[in-house]
Amino acid sequence: MSKSKFHQVKISGYNIIFPLAIAWNQCADFQKQTVEHIKKRNNCFVYLGADKSFFFKIKKSHNLLLFYPLTNFLKLKIFDKLFDQINLLFFNFVVKWQLKNTKCINIIWLFNSELNYFFKIFKDEKILKIYDFVDFADLKNIFNTTKKANLIFANSTILYQFAKTISNNKVVLVPQGFDLKSFSNDKKLKPIEPSTKITISYIGSINFRLDFPLLQKLIQNNPQHNFIFWGPIEYLNKNLDTIYNLETNINKLKKYKNVQFGHSDRNGVIKVLEKTTIGIIPYNTLLDFNRNCFPMKLFEYFYMGLPVLSTKIEELYRYKNIIKISNDSKEWNKYINKIMRNGWPAQKRIIQRELAKSNSWQKKIKKIEEEIYNFNYK
């Protein structure tokens, strides 16, 4: 295949199953973004495991079928397994009915390793089993999934290297996936000028993953600055929410006069970032999941040309020349003071924007499509 043709490869006409474990409209929308791109030329069947309804519900639009499974209305845990089996049987029936003329499922595309049983539900040696490896959530299931998948896509070097050590199947490093279309503008990036009063913002889900002791010290030591936490407050895990005193810690932050909480659509996020001086990623890196993640918000900060403060997330050391990485609140204070004195040069902002562009959804999907198109069963 010539280079010019290769770069125009787009998979088309495939029937693809996407089992999802998070809500369709969740703040971290990488799964929805992937489906929205792929459905432009392919038929997508999405099992919404986190969006259960009182009755079976199906929504259909162009090339997309959303399946809302039945909730356990008996409210007893002993019936969870039974309801799961009923839901999977009905989903299987719906998919097969929709494909009654072709009876051909081409791809099962997983994001969540705990859903690898979908590989068994739809059995066919010609079904391409994809694992879109985006987080380090469940080690046991990650091992099982990487062995079962034909193709593994990793969105970070940390995940790529890990997958390569535990799987003999093909592992491909792909761009992270940044919503360039929503952020794209022609504004020339000017330097951020020194200032005595700045705005420090965190965008994204507000949950137990945040390092609240670090944030508490930071806000206490900087009453002259504005702090914005912009995103939904999410209670994701009852045990971890309790262990990390999520509700108490959020209420503590809300008491500070220089702290603002809010939530909006993507346009609102951009408006917040336009008045932001420093973007922060204050994750608790005692959690393996956090330490090995690759936050999408990094490229949102980068596109807006913001200096970034982060805790010790392994993947971010790739960008240590343009990110301050530390778990020490004193080091965070020093960096904030440095930005106050010196500002942030236009040249670094330009480098950041180019990095964001190179990690767009278009580039990620293009790389994935090329690999699917050229995949050969052994």
Q: What is the CA radius of gyration of the chain?
A: 22
Average pLDDT over residues 138-150: 91
Average pLDDT over residues 49-68: 94
**Lowest mean pLDDT segment, chosen from 14-28, 147-161, 235-249:** 14-28
> Tokens 């309801």 map to which residue?
83
Give the integer Cα–Cα distance in Å for 315 and 351: 18
Per-residue pLDDT tens over the stretch 69-103: 999 888 888 999 999 999 999 999 999 999 988 77
Split at pLDDT 50, 70, 90, the class of 2 is very low
pLDDT at residue number 5? 45
Give the integer Cα–Cα distance in Å for 354 and 344: 16
pLDDT at residue number 6? 44
Per-residue pLDDT tens over the stretch 328-368: 999 999 999 999 999 999 999 999 999 999 999 999 999 99
Which of 203, 224, 189, 210 is closest to 336 using CA atoms? 224
Split at pLDDT 50, 70, 90, the class of 244 is very high
Close Cβ partners of 255 (under 8 Å, ≥ 6 residues apart) = none
Give the integer Cα–Cα distance in Å for 238 and 260: 25
Longest Cα–Cα distance in the chain? 68
pLDDT at residue number 184? 85
Common-topology check for domains 3-177+361-373 and 181-358? yes
Give the 3-state secondary structure of residue 177. coil
Close Cβ partners of 114 (under 8 Å, ≥ 6 residues apart) = 21, 137, 138, 141
Measured CA to CA in angstroms, residue 223 lies from 40, 142, 199, 211, 261 at distances of: 49, 44, 11, 19, 16
Domain ranges for the chain, please list them: 3-177+361-373, 181-358
Per-residue pLDDT tens over the stretch 159-200: 999 999 999 999 999 999 999 988 987 778 899 999 999 999
Split at pLDDT 50, 70, 90, the class of 236 is confident
Q: Which segments of 207-357 are extended strands (E)?
A: 226-230, 259-262, 278-281, 308-310, 323-325
pLDDT at residue number 378? 56
pLDDT at residue number 124? 76
Give the integer Cα–Cα distance in Å for 136 and 156: 11
Average pLDDT over residues 29-33: 88
pLDDT over 90 at 237, yes or no: no
**Lowest mean pLDDT segment, chosen from 102-106, 118-122, 345-349:** 102-106
Better-scored residue on pLDDT, 160 or 139: 160
pLDDT at residue number 231? 95
Domain 181-358, classified CATH 3.20.20.80, yes or no: no
User: Residue 222 — φ and ψ, nearest 5°?
Assistant: -135, 60
pLDDT over 60 at 4, yes or no: no
The pLDDT mean for the chain works out to 92
- In CATH, the number for domain 3-177+361-373 is 3.40.50.2000
Split at pLDDT 50, 70, 90, the class of 59 is very high
Close Cβ partners of 284 (under 8 Å, ≥ 6 residues apart) = 208, 209, 210, 211, 212, 244, 290, 311
pLDDT over 60 at 119, yes or no: yes
Give the integer Cα–Cα distance in Å for 41 and 373: 13
- Partnered with residue 228 across adjacent β-strands are 201, 260
Give the 3-state secondary structure of residue 317. helix
Q: Which segments of the chain are extended strands (E)?
A: 15-20, 43-48, 57-61, 64-68, 107-110, 128-133, 151-154, 170-173, 199-203, 226-230, 259-262, 278-281, 308-310, 323-325
- The answer to whether the CB of 225 falls within 8 A of the CB of 197 is yes
